[in-house]
Amino acid sequence: MATETLLVELGTEELPPKALKSLGLSFRDGILRGLTERKLEFGDVQWFATPRRLAVMVSDVQLQAPDETVEVLGPPVAAARDKAGDWSPAAIGFAKKQGVKPEQLQEFDSPKGARLGLRSTVTGAGTSASLNEIIQGSIQQLPIPKRMRWGASRVEFVRPVHWVVAMLGSNSDHGEVLGLATGNTTRGHRFHSSGDITLNRPEDYQSALADAKVVASFEQRREMIREQVEVEASALKANAVIDDSLLDEVTGLVEWPVALTGSFEERFLEVPAEALVSSMKEHQKYFHLEDQDGKLRPNFITIANIESEDPIQVIAGNERVIRPRLSDAAFFFETDKKTSLEQRVAKLESVVFQQKLGTLKDKTARVMVIAAELASRIDSDPALAERAALLSKTDLLTEMVLEFSDMQGIAGYYYALHDGEDENVAVALNQQYWPKFAGDRLPENPTACALGLADRLDTLVGIFGIGQPPTGSKDPFALRRASLAVLRIMVELGLDLDLRDCLQLAAAQYPEGLIADDTPGKVFDYMIERFRAWYEEESIPAEVFKSVSARNLSRPLDIQRRVHAVHAFTALPEAAALAAANKRVSNILEKLEPSHVFGEVSDNLLVEPEEKQLAAQLATLTKVAQGHLADDQYTEALACLAGLRESVDAFFDGVMVNADDEALRANRLSLLKALRDLFLEVADISQLVVGK
Amino acid sequence: MPLIVLDRDGVINEDSDAYIRSLADWRPIPGSIAAIAALSKAGFTIAVATNQSGLSRGYLGLEDLEAIHDKLREQVEEQGGQIAGIFYCPHLPQEGCSCRKPATGLLEAIETELGESPRGAIFIGDSLKDLQAARACGCQPMLVKTGKGAPTASALQAGELALADYQSVPIYDDLAAAARDILLRLPASKDDR
Q: Which of A531, A374, A388 is nearest to A454 (CA)?
A: A374
pLDDT of A488 above 70:
yes
The residue extents of the domains of chain A are 3-65+126-211, 68-122, 218-337, 355-539, 560-688
Q: How far apart are CA A609 and CA A489, in angstroms?
A: 51
Q: How far apart are CA B101 and CA B123, in angstroms?
A: 12
pLDDT of A259 above 90:
yes
Read off the pLDDT of residues A417-471 as tens digits, 9 standing for 90 and up: 999 999 999 999 999 999 998 889 999 999 999 999 999 999 999 999 999 999 8
Q: Which of B176, B123, B41, B145 is nearest to A192 (CA)?
A: B176
**In angstroms, what CA-CA distances link A624 with A41, A551, A683, B6?**
63, 22, 17, 83
Cβ-Cβ contacts under 8 Å, B177 against chain A: 194
Cβ-Cβ contacts under 8 Å, A308 against chain B: 42, 183-184, 186
Q: In the Cβ-directed half-sphere of B161, how many Cα atoms lie within 13 Å?
A: 21
Q: Position A609: which residue type?
A: P
Spatial CB neighbours of A15, under 8 Å, sequence gap ≥ 6: A23, A49, A51, A52, A54, A158, A159, A252
B2 touches chain A (CB under 8 A): yes
Scan residues 277-296 of A and list those with Cβ closer than 8 Å to B.
283-285
A62 touches chain B (CB under 8 A): no
Read off the pLDDT of residues A288-324 as tens digits, 9 standing for 90 and up: 999 999 999 999 999 999 998 888 888 998 998 899 8
**In angstroms, what CA-CA distances link B164 with A246, B136, B170?**
49, 11, 14
DSSP A445-506: SHHHHHHHHHHHHHHHHHHHHTT----SS--TT-HHHHHHHHHHHHHHTT----HHHHHHHH
Cβ-Cβ contacts under 8 Å, A194 against chain B: 177, 180
pLDDT of B57 above 60:
yes
pLDDT of A154 above 80:
no
Instruction: Note whether residue B192 is domain-resident.
Output: no
Class of CATH domain A355-539: mainly alpha
pLDDT of B60: 94
Q: Do B34 and A14 touch (CB under 8 A)?
A: yes
Instruction: State the burial class of residue A47 (Cβ atoms within 10 Å of its Cβ: 0-12, 13-18, 19+).
Output: buried
pLDDT of A77: 86
Instruction: Note whether residue B140 is domain-resident.
Output: yes
Cβ-Cβ contacts under 8 Å, B28 against chain A: 13
Mean pLDDT of all residues belonging to chain A: 92
State yes or no: is B181 an active-site residue.
no
**What is the interface size between A and B, counted as CB pairs within 8 Å?**
81
Q: How far apart are CA A534 and CA A485, in angstroms?
A: 11
Q: How far apart are CA A443 and CA A428, in angstroms?
A: 8
Residue of A nearest to B188 (CA): A313
Q: How confident is the model at residue B191 (pLDDT cuts 50, 70, 90)?
A: very low
**Number of domains within chain B:** 1
Q: How far apart are CA A493 and CA A441, in angstroms?
A: 11
Q: What percentage of chain A's residues is helix, strand, coil (to nearest 5)?
A: 55, 15, 30
**In angstroms, what CA-CA distances link B53 with A549, B59, B65, B105?**
67, 9, 11, 15
Q: Position A269: which residue type?
A: L
Instruction: Note whether residue B193 is domain-resident.
Output: no
Chain B: give the shortest CA distance to residue A583, in Å.
59
DSSP A575-615: HHHHHHHHHHHHHHHHTS-TT----PPPGGG--SHHHHHHH
Rg of chain B's alpha carbons, rounded to an integer? 15
Chain A: give the shortest CA distance to residue B83, in Å.
11
Instruction: Note whether residue B160 is domain-resident.
Output: yes
Q: Do B80 and A285 touch (CB under 8 A)?
A: yes
Q: Select the residue of A150, A309, A321 nearest B186 (Cβ to Cβ).
A: A309
Domain that holds residue B38: 3-185
Q: What is the dihedral of CA B24, B30, B31, B32, to 10 degrees?
A: -40
In a mutagenesis test of the B interface, which of A321, A322, A327 is the best target, namely the one with the most B β-carbons within 10 Å?
A321
DSSP A181-226: E-BSEEE--TTT--SEEE-SSGGGHHHHHHHTT----HHHHHHHHH
pLDDT of A145: 61
Cβ-Cβ contacts under 8 Å, A309 against chain B: 184-186
A228 touches chain B (CB under 8 A): no
CATH number for the domain that contains residue B50:
3.40.50.1000
A560-688 is classed CATH 1.10.730.10: yes
Biggest CA-to-CA distance, chain B: 44
Say whether A80 sits in a helix, a strand or coil.
Answer: coil
Number of H helices, E strands in chain B: 7, 6
pLDDT of A152: 47
pLDDT of A692: 40
Q: How far apart are CA B47 and CA B83, in angstroms?
A: 6
In a mutagenesis test of the A interface, which of B183, B185, B190, B192 is the best target, namely the one with the most A β-carbons within 10 Å?
B183
Q: What count of other Cβ atoms lies within 10 Å of the Cβ of residue A593? A: 6
B24 touches chain A (CB under 8 A): no
- Report whether A213 contacts A188 (CB < 8 A): yes
State yes or no: is B192 an active-site residue.
no
Q: How far apart are CA A444 and CA A427, in angstroms?
A: 9
Give A289's DSSP letter.
E
Q: Do B31 and A13 touch (CB under 8 A)?
A: yes
Read off the pLDDT of residues A19-51 as tens digits, 9 standing for 90 and up: 999 999 999 999 999 999 999 999 999 999 999
In a mutagenesis test of the A interface, which of B14, B41, B192 is the best target, namely the one with the most A β-carbons within 10 Å?
B41
**pLDDT more than 90, % of chain A:** 78
A175 touches chain B (CB under 8 A): no
Q: Which of B24, B17, B32 is nearest to B145 (CA)?
A: B32
What distance lies between CA A443 and its chain's CA centroid?
21
The answer to which of A230-234, A578-582, B124-128 has the lowest mean pLDDT is A578-582
Chain A: give the shortest CA distance to residue B29, in Å.
10
Q: How far apart are CA A474 and CA A476, in angstroms?
A: 6
Q: How far apart are CA B183 and CA B172, in angstroms?
A: 14
DSSP A109-168: EETTEEEEEEEEEEPPPBHHHHHHHHHHHHHHTS--SS-EE-TT---EESS-EEEEEEEE
Spatial CB neighbours of A524, under 8 Å, sequence gap ≥ 6: A499, A500, A503, A554
pLDDT of A504 above 90:
yes
- Report whether A164 contacts A177 (CB < 8 A): yes
Q: What is the pTM of this model?
A: 0.78
Of B9, B15, B64, B174, the active-site residue reads B9
- Degrees, nearest 5: CA angle A91-A92-A94: 65
pLDDT of A151 above 50:
no
